[in-house]
A = this chain, B = another copy of it.
Amino acid sequence: MIHIIVGKVKRVLQSCGAMAASEEDVKLLGSVGSPFVIRVQIALKLKGVEYKYVEEKLGNLSETLIQYNPVYKMVPVFVHNGKPISESRVILEYIDETWKQNPILPSDPYKKALARFWSKFIDDKCVAAAWKSVFMVDEKQREKAREELLEALQFLENELKDKFFGGEDIGFVDIAALFIPLFQQVAEFQLFTSDNFPKLYKWSLEFYNHPVVNEIMPSKDQQFAYFKARAESLAASNK
């Protein structure tokens, strides 16, 4: 009798598992070369989550994307079982909460707060200054933005205590910070070297050498093409 019940429970559990697997619909709308899309791709790869990638063309976004992200009209958009989420850091948190394996945020609330603080800092202070340091028309403004960027990098340099920001393996802040070496690759000036920011420089090598990052990272040409298209798209929207 017990065997029969156990057998039934097993079959029910198996069929539930099969249903869950077939119901899992994971999609990422991105543009090759976008550092914000790469963030999401790295997180999904670290978690081992399978997904469908849909390429969006900057300057000519699909109606689906605009419907999913009417506020910012930007990639990445992550769609889980039909429900869309925008903003890369919001997506990363969702992924970390939904697929618990290989956590990218620390479990300790204080360490988690610090990870949120520094990843927000990267978006607020580094990303904007990096763009301005290249694309501002006025040379003085470009120079000012470059100084702000170097100041922000100094904070990150001081914050790096271990191999990665996340400790011995890559985590939330590392994934957010990928913008910095990627930007250095495509920008025309040398942002950080082993001389001015030795810890950040070493980190960038470790980061690029990580097998998951290595597999995800697009080619330099693809990165360059993205930054060019993004700049053109921004210029067009400011007209």
**Given that A87-B120, A120-B87 are known contacts, is A93 also in contact with B71, CB under 8 Å in the complex?**
no
Decide yes or no whether A8 CB sits under 8 A from chain B: no
Cross-chain contact A112 with B97 (CB below 8 angstroms): yes
Query: Assembly of this chain: how many copies?
Result: 2
Contact of A155 among B71, B98, B116 (CB under 8 A): B71
Interface residues of A in 96-133 (CB under 8 A from B): 97-98, 109-110, 112-114, 116-117, 120-121, 125
Decide yes or no whether A27 CB sits under 8 A from chain B: no
Cross-chain contact B120 with A94 (CB below 8 angstroms): no
Q: How many residues of A contact B (CB 8 A)?
A: 24
Tell me the complex Cα distance, A113–B90, Å.
Answer: 6
Tell me the complex Cα distance, A115–B120, Å.
Answer: 16
Residues of B near A117 (CB, < 8 A) are 85-87, 90
Decide yes or no whether A80 CB sits under 8 A from chain B: yes
Cross-chain contact A85 with B113 (CB below 8 angstroms): yes
Contact sample, A vs B, 9 pairs, CB 8 Å cutoff: A80-B110, A83-B110, A87-B116, A87-B120, A90-B117, A93-B112, A93-B116, A94-B109, A94-B110
